[in-house]
Structure 1
Amino acid sequence: MANSKNPPTDATGAAETNLLIEAFRSFNEASTVLERSYQELQAHTRELDLELADANERLRRSLLEQEATSLHLRSILNSLQVGIMVVDLEGVLEAINPCAVKLVDFEGSVGVNYAEANLPQAVADFIYDCLEGTMPRIAKREVTLPQPDGQRDLELQFKLVRPEGGGILSVLILMTDKTLLNRLQSQSKRTARLAAMGEMAAELAHEIRNPLGSIKLFSGLLEGDLEEQPEQAKLAGQISHGVNVLENIVGNILAFSRNVTPKKEALELAALVEQSLPLFEMERARKNIEVTLRKPERRLMIEADPHLLKQMLLNLCNNAIKAMAPGGRLDIQVNTHDEFAELVITDTGHGIPADQLPKIFDPFYTTFHGGTGLGLSVVNQIVEKHAGAIDIKSAVDRGTSVYVSLPRSL
């Protein structure tokens, strides 16, 4: 049976072949373009990878530099002997360095409002005024903070932290411990005044001593001539007694005005205080005064004349005992500070009125009946000769505290 379909002609086959060849050529051209594009893409990707790696390296180095700078700045901040506290405009405590922590006995943490940070009231009040006013009139303030071992005088300042574009970022509180500086300034003024008074007193003492010698001689002769007249001899004896009292006062004046040179040696302050306790034991026992001594945990060494310091302690403790009623309490503390050693003597006596405090170191000024008024003048002289400072805080009917600051041994 014959096939009903006609077989393909040669022309048709050739056309189909040409179409197939053209399709392969187009495919090859497209493949070549795609391969070239792929290679270009790969090259561009490699360039981007290199640029990204370079950018990442620069970023890594920048982060390391920033971290190093931050650590360096933090180290500087932590080593500063000035307290620094940063508070934002909402009152949140952002940062506080170790010096500020020590100055205000800070036990809280950053990230809380300053009013909840358990800061001393005087410091909190200053921060409040800074945030509310930020006026130059409150840019600086001096406050006194009570401490377990005495008191601390702080100078508070504030600065506004401003970005380059303007505005205010936060408030910077600066704290400086002025305790020793204030005592030294008071000591310097007092020493200058007492030096002038001492020179005048010494001249007067020399002028008085000569006629006193003559009076004493003639009163002695008069007593001898009046041996058979007891009443008159008694009167002459009172003259001699008065002359002896005056001679004693003149001797104290000359001792006060004499230029004493300490013979310093290395000694432990707390041990010296313990050795000095028996010196006023009789007075202490007579009035049944309780004495407590608080010492630092570590040895506190100073360079000082032990004999002069014992005399200083004796004068100060005797004054404290005289000021107290029987059954009082005398507290002696030896404290360690960064720059100085501190001796604090506190009594529960009748206290000293505020108007008398500026005069108590003056020669012949005394608050005790029968006193010569030279005890504290001698104490001041001893402290001054040791390049130290002395300060007294007192309140009527509440007692008196004496603060003696002495340089520490290196």
Structure 2
Amino acid sequence: MKKYKLLNTITILLGLLSFVMIIALGWFTYENYDRERTLMENNLLQEAEFIRTSLRAKLLMGIGGDLHQLRDYVERLETSPFVKHILVFDKDKNNLLGDEKYTYTEYPDNHNEHQKVNFDSEGNYVFTFISELTIHYDILTGKKVEKSDQGIKYTTVIELYANEYYEAQREDIRRALGTGLLLLVIGLASVYFIFVIRRYYSVNVHLQNVQDYISNVIQSMPNGLISLDKTGKVETVNRTAVKLLGLEENKVVGKNIHDVLPNCKSEALGQNNSEKFEQNVECHLNDGNTIPLNIISSKIKNEIGEDLGTVLIFTDLRELKSLEKAVERSERLASMGRMAAGIAHEIRNPLSSIKGLAQYLRNKFEKDSEDHEYASVMISEVDRLNRVIRDMLNFAKPHEPKLALCNIEDIVSHSLKLTESELNEKKINIILMNKDDLPTVLADSDLLTQVFLNLFANSIEAMDENGTIEISFSEEEQFVIIEISDEGSGIEEENLNKIFDPFFTSKSTGTGLGLAIVYRIIENHNGKITVNSVVNKGTTFIIKLPKSN
């Protein structure tokens, strides 16, 4: 853009300079014309003065009275190409010398040393010089004038050709007009080029803005984009592709795509002949990670259909895969929930009869008898089965959350108080890292209390005495995050994907519904729960709940 601005400035200055030079040329031409006219008139006047002086000298030398000799002398003077006529008139305006066809009436009234330039009948420029000449004798008779101090006055008319002077002036004017016209053309051309350059500059600015806009659009795309030339070398790569594929932009451009992603095997990256090709692949990145990708390749062609290269669009399928798994899990849990509800209803009624009969028999037997003890065990087992059935029903048809603004730190503190006796019994140390100005969440405090009680119970059961439970709070974009870490026995890696499934448990006791209910409650709050665990080192549950805003 700088060179366009410089060129525009130079053109403007050239145009202004041309117009200034035109004005200056006009002024100097006028001054030169006026000066040459004055010089011309002075030269003609000097020449006329010289002829008049020469004529007067001849008359004073005494050739007066001999008209033939005077006429010969005048005719010799008229042979000069610059002299048209030399005329002498007496006081009565009679033509004494010169062409007799000229009369004084053709000239203005007598004025001493009158001079004028005009056209003659032949179209010549003629300088006319009229002056008085005083002689002390009569030039016709040669007789001296007596008793007269002033002498006889004669009028001389000298006409000189001024064509060469005016032709030189016209030539100067033509040259000035030619130069002025040239400068005018240069000035107008400069004005034209100013508009052209401004238009060119405007078009280039517009094209640059369009290019920047397209570049920003490409860089801001949520999908990765890489463009290749005809040989498969990388031309451009956007930020999303750099981040998604773990690339370094300055080290990618100019390399072949197979050298950039050597472990990502896809026909979309090859030299296929399809106009458009789409494929889902598990792409092995250079950093060792593997991610699911949807790759679309599309040919780039010019207006006549020639192949210019290929554009590759990379879509990260990790979130989609996660959603698919979540949907699959939800469908599986819903199916298991419906089955569990049916089973629970079928079992609950017989259990009520069994418990009633067991209570009746226990009351019939002696308290210390073996039969009384058996009846008590039957009642205890029926109660345990009823608790299992209650959990199954809670899982199958969870309570709809009664949402209200909640302080998540208060809910966690309340849950810790409810488990205080179990914590003290095992001498569990609690590290609670509260966060200032933690946003509120829109949640059901009773259901979240059930979540934390279940997680705390699992941590307490997984640890020996003098263990530690660490609870921290943070926020991330639209979520409040709660992390609960313990120093328990951990979870086997192959079981991490199963612990939220109903009826899955690695403990000798338990229904396997606790964490499934926890997952369902968090899910009903539009939240997320994940787990990280290392065997013999501990487990961390990470809960994300939406902020109230």
CA deviation profile, 1:239-295 (whole Å, cap 9, x unmatched): 232222222222332333334111101234455445544344444454455544556
CA contact (8 A) 2:491 2:534 kept: yes
Q: 1:128 to 1:228 in 2, by over 3 A?
A: closer
CA distance in structure 1 between the partners assigned to 2:432 and 2:212 by the alignment: 43
Q: What is the one-letter code of the residue matched to 1:113?
A: K
CA distance in structure 2 between the partners assigned to 1:360 and 1:209 by the alignment: 26
Q: 1:385 to 1:61 in 2, by over 3 A?
A: same
Q: What is the one-letter code of the residue matched to 2:194?
A: A
CA contact (8 A) 1:84 1:174 kept: yes
Q: 1:59 to 1:345 in 2, by over 3 A?
A: farther
The reply on whether 1:208 has 2:347 as its aligned counterpart is yes
Q: Which of these residues, 47, 53, 59, is aligned with residue 188 of structure 2?
A: 47
Q: What is the aligned partner in structure 1 of residue 239 from structure 2?
A: 96
Task: Tell me the TM-score normalised to structure 1 length.
Answer: 0.70
CA distance in structure 2 between the partners assigned to 1:240 and 1:173 by the alignment: 65
Q: What is the aligned partner in structure 2 of residue 365 from structure 1?
A: 504
Task: Tell me the TM-score normalised to structure 2 length.
Answer: 0.55
CA distance in structure 2 between the partners assigned to 1:176 and 1:17 by the alignment: 107
Q: What is the one-letter code of the residue matched to 1:350?
A: S
Using the TM superposition, name which of 88-97 and 35-44 deviates more: 88-97
Q: 1:163 to 1:392 in 2, by over 3 A?
A: farther
CA contact (8 A) 2:526 2:545 kept: yes
CA contact (8 A) 1:154 1:177 kept: yes
Q: What is the aligned partner in structure 1 of residue 61 from structure 2?
A: none
Q: Which of these residues, 321, 324, 328, is aligned with residue 189 of structure 1?
A: 328
Q: 1:201 to 1:96 in 2, by over 3 A?
A: closer
CA distance in structure 1 between the partners assigned to 2:316 and 2:212 by the alignment: 24
- Per-residue deviation at 1:192? 2.0
The reply on whether 1:303 has 2:442 as its aligned counterpart is yes
SS in structure 2 of the partner of residue 246 of structure 1: helix
Q: What is the one-letter code of the residue matched to 2:388?
A: I
Q: What is the aligned partner in structure 1 of residue 366 from structure 2?
A: 227
- Per-residue deviation at 1:363? 2.9
The reply on whether 1:264 has 2:411 as its aligned counterpart is no
- Per-residue deviation at 1:227? 0.8
The reply on whether 1:113 has 2:251 as its aligned counterpart is yes
Q: What is the aligned partner in structure 1 of residue 80 from structure 2?
A: 14
CA distance in structure 2 between the partners assigned to 1:274 and 1:167 by the alignment: 65
CA distance in structure 2 between the partners assigned to 1:182 and 1:277 by the alignment: 36
User: Using CA pairs below 8 Å that are at least 6 residues apart, which structure has the higher relative contact order?
Assistant: 1
CA distance in structure 2 between the partners assigned to 1:192 and 1:273 by the alignment: 31
CA contact (8 A) 1:183 1:391 kept: no
CA distance in structure 1 between the partners assigned to 2:485 and 2:427 by the alignment: 16
Rg (Cα) greater in structure: 2
CA contact (8 A) 1:141 1:157 kept: no
Q: 1:27 to 1:316 in 2, by over 3 A?
A: farther
CA deviation profile, 1:78-123 (whole Å, cap 9, x unmatched): 766x2657799988997637x987x89x9x9x874369xxxxxxxx
CA contact (8 A) 1:256 1:378 kept: yes
CA distance in structure 1 between the partners assigned to 2:266 and 2:334 by the alignment: 48
Q: 1:241 to 1:268 in 2, by over 3 A?
A: closer
- Per-residue deviation at 1:77? 6.3
SS in structure 2 of the partner of residue 406 of structure 1: strand
Q: What is the one-letter code of the residue matched to 2:239?
A: I
CA distance in structure 1 between the partners assigned to 2:283 and 2:415 by the alignment: 36
- Per-residue deviation at 1:32? 4.0
CA distance in structure 2 between the partners assigned to 1:275 and 1:12 by the alignment: 139
The reply on whether 1:250 has 2:393 as its aligned counterpart is no
Q: Aligned-residue CA RMSD in angstroms?
A: 4.8
In percent, how many aligned pairs have the same letter?
A: 26
CA contact (8 A) 2:405 2:443 kept: yes
Q: What is the aligned partner in structure 2 of residue 4 from structure 1?
A: none
- Per-residue deviation at 1:222? 2.3
Q: 1:66 to 1:316 in 2, by over 3 A?
A: farther
Q: 1:329 to 1:224 in 2, by over 3 A?
A: closer
CA distance in structure 2 between the partners assigned to 1:156 and 1:215 by the alignment: 59
Q: 1:78 to 1:195 in 2, by over 3 A?
A: same
- Per-residue deviation at 1:305? 0.9
CA deviation profile, 1:125-157 (whole Å, cap 9, x unmatched): 97565799934798765799xxxxxxxx88686
CA distance in structure 2 between the partners assigned to 1:156 and 1:348 by the alignment: 40
CA distance in structure 1 between the partners assigned to 2:547 and 2:299 by the alignment: 37
CA contact (8 A) 1:183 1:390 kept: no
CA distance in structure 2 between the partners assigned to 1:132 and 1:186 by the alignment: 24
Task: Number of aligned residue pairs: give it.
Answer: 380
CA contact (8 A) 2:218 2:238 kept: no
SS in structure 2 of the partner of residue 303 of structure 1: strand
The reply on whether 1:38 has 2:38 as its aligned counterpart is no
CA contact (8 A) 1:93 1:112 kept: no
SS in structure 2 of the partner of residue 349 of structure 1: coil
- Per-residue deviation at 1:338? 3.7
CA distance in structure 2 between the partners assigned to 1:297 and 1:156 by the alignment: 42
Unaligned runs of 5+ residues in structure 2 are 1-74, 85-160, 254-258, 271-276, 286-290
- Per-residue deviation at 1:14? 3.4
CA contact (8 A) 2:484 2:540 kept: yes
CA contact (8 A) 1:130 1:138 kept: no
Unaligned runs of 5+ residues in structure 1 are 1-8, 116-124, 145-152
CA distance in structure 2 between the partners assigned to 1:317 and 1:114 by the alignment: 50
Q: 1:70 to 1:185 in 2, by over 3 A?
A: same
- Per-residue deviation at 1:359? 3.4
CA distance in structure 1 between the partners assigned to 2:322 and 2:544 by the alignment: 8
Q: 1:351 to 1:292 in 2, by over 3 A?
A: same
Q: 1:227 to 1:131 in 2, by over 3 A?
A: closer
CA contact (8 A) 1:266 1:301 kept: yes
